[in-house]
Chains A and B, each alone.
Chain A
């Protein structure tokens, strides 16, 4: 794992000192709230519905046990004893007090962490594949590249006041687990015809009120050109992006309005200029960074403990079959710990749970943890022999929910419960859907399914790319939930289609139930997933299940 060098360490300390001074200047009045706002945002501090919210960066989602324990400590000291893991692979604390924030930041700096650029109109925390470095299908570990981008984008003097926020995602595998087509810039590692690895560069993707699939701006970029190329894109955007209308300021609109060809021509021209400014120092730095990400020394040993537990213990088997993923080393597995216990808030973990996960990573997982954009925690390297013991400890900590990838593994944004922009609740909807299917005991029968819920049109819950997406709106003071169908955030990227009129709060769970029961009837055997069935049959039969009255020829009252 990447370890801060003296430079990184000094940098973060310096930032804490700067921000502490800015907080003091805000309190004494030398900074107006308007002027303080972008400065606090650059340091991850938001003003929310009830209080400030601090968003802490977990760069490319990677943590060690010491860092996880510190997150637990901060949750206890400065928050209400829990933290919320987000779809941006970050952790958020919802109740800090302004004067406490400098202390929180220095507690983070103690474990090589920070909240820099987790908000504001700047390049945000880089996200990546949560299985990076462990997945069987990977060309190269994307995290060294993500770390290089982190260093390049941190405090980049040109890009702290962009027209709008800017998100970059990197994946090292052709199977996209980082939703790269929904980012301002997506980088997908591929090989060219000579077998050389490089990046497919995608630009202008995004969800939000105008969902757009990213477009390929450079089909193959040699790895060494990464930083100057990124710099070319962002500087073209900085001058060309709209600043007159916040809703038209993202690069997806710049690309849409100017056309990808024009943007590409400008970027390529700028790239030639920018490339002269990088003399190879970035590549030297990269090779140091890469060394830090070398795979751990995998242990060798029999896996009989796993095999016998799998054969003899049905609870273990159910968990193993849903929560484990294939590791590149066949004796190992990737463990996903679900933070989606039915009825709980998706993505929340208590301080005690964070400590248990840290302990397990230290004892069984080569000291590594990941935060996934699906709001779960991943232990990327666990020897199979250790899985039964690990599972028992998860049960004791109430973390053994066996639902990864199933109906109750729902992504939900904070919604009306925390977010000032929300137009509807999203967490309770997730909780009720999960609880309902728990009662019906249908989760395993339904199989792989991604439900994603956003509490407003800003789409932080990624509803557009949910197989079933739910968008909570406010219709004349009453919550109203729209359903989209068929979205997909992987390499087969698709934006979901709106199914029809929205549902009231108390109608949404029954509607989802009708939809999924219909799927069970319609599918072509157990093997056909919801998404496959939708793709085969089209929206017709699913809409019929959602709107039975309309089916009977009566007008559905929206």
Chain B
């Protein structure tokens, strides 16, 4: 079988990519990012702001059908929307995907569109970070137009960044100076955002962008008077945490889903791997983590002293965990059985029917699939062919 580079951890791939492309020009970095197997599925994320056209143009020269994600916060200037359409047509981009917040999320959290006045972080979370996070779920990497000169927080920016060990972020323009951007636009006769001429060198959402005076930092017009520098999409020095800037004390916790609802994990004794299961007698309160490729036969005779088994779901499409659960039950395991990882609300009934007691999900999944969606499948005992066929209905 050919070697699949995507099996390497993100950090290793990023280090390798930075070493390999250190001395390349922006265009070359972009071209490689679109084709290097170590990068994977990739999209360009663009605000169609003042300088976005540069990367969009580079992309269109290499591959017009590469996906471009445009985040429409529904707070943008009308000029941005028309400019977006104009640029996409002029460059012949064929896969521009507009990304927006979910209507019910907006209805629930910012019904009047005034959240930005009370809490810009919360507003950006709602309108940018979460929609983008959802859209990026389908990708292994994304391309941004960030540059080192744009601020102290970006001064050490590399071409490739490790985003939370989950994705690669590619910054082909990292080393560009302001003049490079201008030159590129002039040389390639690229259309300008109409607001630039009106005094907005950096353009975001209408309520949060103001003009800057000549000589002022171009980004000074963004979130003027606030301490905010980044909108939550971009993070600080590679150590990435999604969402609002983290408050130290609040480590996001995984959620435990049971028939009763969401709850905190009440198991506090930690977990060991299958190899660490000792003699059954000496560990009455043992909890074991099983990867999805466990051979259940290897656990024969070891199940006695185990209180809790947690089966990993690396992806919702990996259904091995369901058979593992059933098998453990058939082998006589009566303790707590938990599915952990990428399990969807729609799989809750399957998990329960296969023998799991509970499901442990990440904060991200918890946010995206609230309890009502799980509750819809909590009646897992009804409409079940299996219990009829086994006489257990």
Instruction: Please give the residue numbers on chain A whose beta carbons come within 8 Å of chain B beta carbons, in ascending order.
Output: 7, 10-11, 14, 18, 21-22, 25, 28-30, 32-35, 38-39, 121, 151-152, 154-162, 227, 235, 238-239, 243-245, 248, 273-274, 276-282, 284-285
Contacts and interface: CB of A to CB of B under 8 A. Distances in A.
Contacts of B317: 38, 121, 161
Given A35-B344, A38-B317, A121-B317, A282 B389 contact: yes
Contacts of A248: 1
A158 B318 contact: no
B388 interface: yes
A213 to B, nearest CB: 24
Contacts of A34: 137-138
B159 interface: no
Contact of B391 (A21, A274, A280): A280
A157 B102 contact: no
A7 to B, nearest CB: 7
Nearest to A277: B390
A376 B341 CA distance: 46
A158 B354 contact: yes
Contact of A281 (B330, B346, B354, B390): B390
Which one of B102, B317, B344 has the highest number of Cβ atoms from chain A below 10 Å of its Cβ?
Answer: B317
Which of A10, A34, A157 has the largest count of B CB atoms less than 10 A from its CB?
A: A157
Interface stretch (B186-194, B218-226, B267-275, B321-329): B321-329
A244 B318 CA distance: 11
Nearest to B354: A157
B326 A281 contact: no
Interface stretch (B17-25, B55-63, B279-287, B378-386): B378-386
A28 B386 contact: no
Contacts of A18: 346, 376-377
B353 interface: yes
9 contacts: A14-B382, A32-B135, A34-B137, A35-B137, A38-B317, A156-B385, A157-B350, A160-B319, A238-B322
A160 B353 CA distance: 12
Given A32-B134, A121-B319, A160-B319, 5 more contacts: A18-B376, A159-B323, A161-B317, A238-B319, A281-B392
Interface string B341-358: 000101101111110000
B320 interface: yes
A121 B315 CA distance: 14
Contact of B383 (A14, A25, A35, A284): A14
Nearest to A21: B376
A10 B383 contact: yes
B102 A29 contact: yes
A238 B320 CA distance: 6
B319 A159 contact: yes
A244 B346 contact: no
A7 B383 CA distance: 7
A238 B327 CA distance: 12
B131 interface: yes
B227 interface: no
B112 interface: no
A216 to B, nearest CB: 24
Contacts of A274: 330
Contact of B385 (A11, A25, A276): A11
Nearest to B325: A158
B138 A285 contact: no
Contacts of B391: 279-281, 284
B354 A244 contact: no
A30 B369 contact: yes
B373 A25 contact: yes
Q: Identify whether the interface residues of B are mostly helix, strand, loop, or mixed.
A: helix
Contacts of A157: 322, 326, 349-354, 386
A146 B62 CA distance: 53
Contacts of A238: 319-320, 322-323
A273 B347 CA distance: 25
A22 B345 CA distance: 10
Nearest to B1: A245
B336 interface: no
A363 to B, nearest CB: 35
A284 B137 CA distance: 47
B368 A282 contact: no
| B102, B352, B376, B385, most chain A CB atoms within 10 A | B385
Given A161-B319, A280-B391, A30 B368 contact: yes
A151 B385 contact: yes
A126 B283 CA distance: 47
A285 B391 CA distance: 10
A335 to B, nearest CB: 34
A152 B387 CA distance: 10
B376 to A, nearest CB: 7
B367 to A, nearest CB: 10
Contacts of B351: 157
Contacts of B320: 238-239, 243
B250 interface: no
Contacts of A152: 385-386, 389
Given A29-B131, A235-B326, A278 B385 contact: no
Nearest to B99: A29
B78 interface: no
Contacts of A235: 323, 326-327
A282 B390 contact: yes
A151 B387 CA distance: 11
Contacts of B216: none
A244 B293 CA distance: 12
B248 interface: no
Nearest to B391: A281
Nearest to A162: B319
A28 B1 contact: no
B326 A243 contact: no
Tell which of A243, A245, A278, A284 has the most Cβ of chain B within 10 Å. Answer: A243
A445 to B, nearest CB: 51
B266 interface: no
A30 B389 CA distance: 34
B246 interface: no
A11 B320 CA distance: 25
A160 B313 CA distance: 14
A476 B351 CA distance: 47
Contacts of A10: 382-383
B58 to A, nearest CB: 26
Give the 7 A-B CB pairs with smallest separation, nearest first: A161-B319, A281-B391, A157-B353, A157-B350, A29-B102, A158-B322, A238-B323
Most A C-beta atoms less than 10 A away, residue of B1, B4, B135, B319: B319
